Amino acid sequence: MKEYLYTGKDKRARLVIQKDDGSITSKSYPRILMEQKLGRELLPEEDVHHIDGNPLNNNLNNLEIIMHGEHQREHSIKYFNTIEICQICGNTFIMTAKKWRCLYNDMCRDKIRKRFITCSKSC
């Protein structure tokens, strides 16, 4: 079995484990740190949150455990009512959470077609 730290394009550290049978698994480094601190494995519904918002700061004082749903809500706030520029007409507009959700769902349904952030259906 081989273990090594891997840093992805987003610069976040992960522990990659390659077993003797060739299978590969990985786990986030902050999650491993919290499990070592607590002396137990985290439950699937527990997430490790970076208090200062910097995912590269893995200091134990900067990490806390929160439930997955709460973690999702906290990070989704950054998408509420953002000011965007229409990629068709160039006007600025407010992109609501509902518009973001519709765009994301549409992208998931049809991954081939290119999507644009637009101010209205007429664009």
Mean pLDDT computed over every residue of the chain: 89
DSSP state letter for 84: E
Query: pLDDT tens digit string along 46-76?
Result: 999 999 989 999 999 999 999 999 999 888 8
CA distance 19 to 42: 22
Decide if pLDDT at 45 tops 80. yes
Decide if pLDDT at 78 tops 80. no
68, 46 contact by CB (below 8 A): yes
pLDDT value of position 114: 78
> Which one has a higher pLDDT value, 42 or 111?
42
64, 49 contact by CB (below 8 A): yes
Decide if pLDDT at 110 tops 80. no
Q: From residue 104, how far is each of 47, 52, 108, 117 by CA, in Å? A: 23, 27, 6, 11
Query: pLDDT tens digit string along 25-39?
Result: 999 999 999 999 999
Q: Which among 48, 1, 55 has a CA at the least distance from the CA of 23?
A: 1
Write b or e for each residue in 63-72: b if 16 or more Cβ atoms lie within 10 A of its Cβ, otherwise e.
Answer: bebeeeeebe
Instruction: Quote the pTM value.
Output: 0.63
